[in-house]
């Protein structure tokens, strides 16, 4: 399932330009039968959420339960926002998308207004070029203090798109 998550993560990022047209990875994989399965979306979403919660050390950041809940809700909303954009790009059935998203809204006790915002994203136009997803609910103080660091990033000799879209001889 980790491969599925990573594929989704990069599907709207990597592309090959041919005759001046960008051919995104998602166009190659979006028609696969995997994407009509709710259980796949649920597992991937849970992985996205858990990865973010762990990455931000939410449970060690504050000892106040209410503060932790607020941080987790913010993370969940942002992750669901990113996933709903991917679901829209993949033309996921609206009923399926709504059902999957609603499970996480209920599980993490997000307000009904958040569900409405998320479902609006899924039902948006799907024939547009990939859009940059921006979901804003305010930046928590702990996140404002985080400095980006690229010291741990190591560059590969070829980009992922070069590896995936390598022209056959």
- Residue 126: the pLDDT is 42
Q: Which domain, by its residues, includes 45?
A: 37-147
**162: in domain:** no
For residues 39 and 132, the model is more confident at: 39
Distances in whole angstroms, Cα of residue 31 to Cα of each of 48, 50, 87, 165: 22, 27, 12, 18
**Which three-class secondary structure string do you get for 98-161?**
HHHHHHHHHHCCCCHHHHHHHHHHHCCCCCCCCCCCCCCCCCCHHHHCCCCCCCCCCCCCCCHH
**93: in domain:** yes
Chain Cα centroid distance, residue 148: 20
**28: in domain:** no
- Residue 39: the pLDDT is 94
Residue of 138, 135, 80 whose CA lies nearest to 107: 80
Give residue-wise pLDDT tens across range 67-124: 888 889 999 999 999 998 888 888 889 899 999 999 999 999 999 888 888 888 877 6
Per the structure, the count of domains in the chain is 1
Distances in whole angstroms, Cα of residue 102 to Cα of each of 58, 90, 152: 23, 18, 36
Q: Is the pLDDT of residue 24 over 90?
A: no
Q: How confident is the model at residue 158 (pLDDT cuts 50, 70, 90)?
A: low
Give residue-wise pLDDT tens across range 40-51: 999 999 999 999
**127: in domain:** yes
- Residue 25: the pLDDT is 85
């Amino acid at each position: 399932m980790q491969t599925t998550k990573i594929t989704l993560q990069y599907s709207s990022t990597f592309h090959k330009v041919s005759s001046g047209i960008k051919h995104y990875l998602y166009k190659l994989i979006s028609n696969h039968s995997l994407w009509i399965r709710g259980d796949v979306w649920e597992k991937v979403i849970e992985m996205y959420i858990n990865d973010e919660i762990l990455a931000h050390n939410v449970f060690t950041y504050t000892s106040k339960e209410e503060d932790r809940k607020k941080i987790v809700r913010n993370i969940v909303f942002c992750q669901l926002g990113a996933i709903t954009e991917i679901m829209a790009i993949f033309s996921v059935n609206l009923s399926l998308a709504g059902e999957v998203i609603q499970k996480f809204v209920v599980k993490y006790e997000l307000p009904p207004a958040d569900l409405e915002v998320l479902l609006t994203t899924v039902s948006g136009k799907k024939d547009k070029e990939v859009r940059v997803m921006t979901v804003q609910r305010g930046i928590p103080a702990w996140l404002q203090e985080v400095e980006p660091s690229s010291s741990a990033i190591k560059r590969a000799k070829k980009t992922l798109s070069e590896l995936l879209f390598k022209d056959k001889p």
